[in-house]
Structure 1
């Protein structure tokens, strides 16, 4: 079982988010007061393509272990820096399948929809960071480490130190793909 290390949000569209004492997840919408909250897609590029698409990026989660890995490469980052809403520890988010449920705190539940696809904004934030969040698997497959995206199935407040419980979907499991 993992835990929540930090929670973050920010109005509008900004790369990084501000840490908070708690965030409120709203079922079917996302993080109350966050720029990506809504039923339809809020990601600027995706919204330009089709603003009626469902918002599969309501909540961005990132494992804190990535910060340790990046620190060893000379990057200095804090929770919220990648624009994540929930920073976790003790859960290998990238290994979870599409449709996996994460129970956060007492009542919030998010369903994983896919991987965050790193973009040029990461290098604008810190030069070289995009390459540091991408890796090649032995089979040549690209590994994206910039977190996972989710939709809110059940609302509730989420705070640092809350437990993260995993509920796997029925087999067969589908690996996370960029959304």
Structure 2
């Protein structure tokens, strides 16, 4: 079963995000109070614990806390970067659509400086919130089958 390990937010871009108990995700906007939220295609960022573990194995940093790669949602049990653009996910109460896989990284960011590498540009994904709601640690993540 794929699930949510952590919800994370920050008030500014390019910094490590802080874990929160639960997040309110707003339709066509993103995570309430997060710096990356807005009316654009990268409203929410997701990263798999499996991707974080790859960096841990490189020995770059001992402890990699949730949010260190500036992900809004840390997941487990789903290979995010293999999902196709347009894939819809039910995450907690929300429905989100994959809009982008990876991103261009600016190496001066706090994450790269702190960790020595950033997996987000290679394996992180971005979504747009189609249906808002609450997401919290332990919530299930399910693929929504396309009709037809």
**TM bucket by the smaller chain?**
0.7 to 0.9
**Larger strand proportion of the pair:** 2
TM-score, normalization by structure 2: 0.88
Deviations 1:104-159 (A, max 9, x none): 11x201100012314112433333x14xx39xxxxxxxx922x0001000000100
Deviation (angstroms), 1:68: 1.5
Q: Report what 1:11 is aligned to.
A: 11
Which of 60, 67, 70 is the aligned partner of 1:83?
70
Q: Residues 52-63 of structure 1 correspond to what in structure 2 (within 5 A)?
A: 55-63=40-48
- Write the distance in 2 (CA, Å) between the matches of 1:169 and 1:61: 21
- Write the distance in 2 (CA, Å) between the matches of 1:118 and 1:84: 15
- Count of aligned positions: 143
Rg (Cα) greater in structure: 1
Which of 97, 113, 116 is the aligned partner of 2:84?
97
CA root-mean-square deviation: 2.0
Q: Report what 2:94 is aligned to.
A: 108
Which of 138, 145, 152 is the aligned partner of 2:129?
152
In the alignment, does 2:54 pair up with 1:65?
Answer: no
Gaps of 5+ in 1: 40-54, 135-142, 172-179
1:99/1:108 Cα in 2 relative to 1: closer, same or farther (>3 Å)?
same
1:169/1:114 Cα in 2 relative to 1: closer, same or farther (>3 Å)?
farther
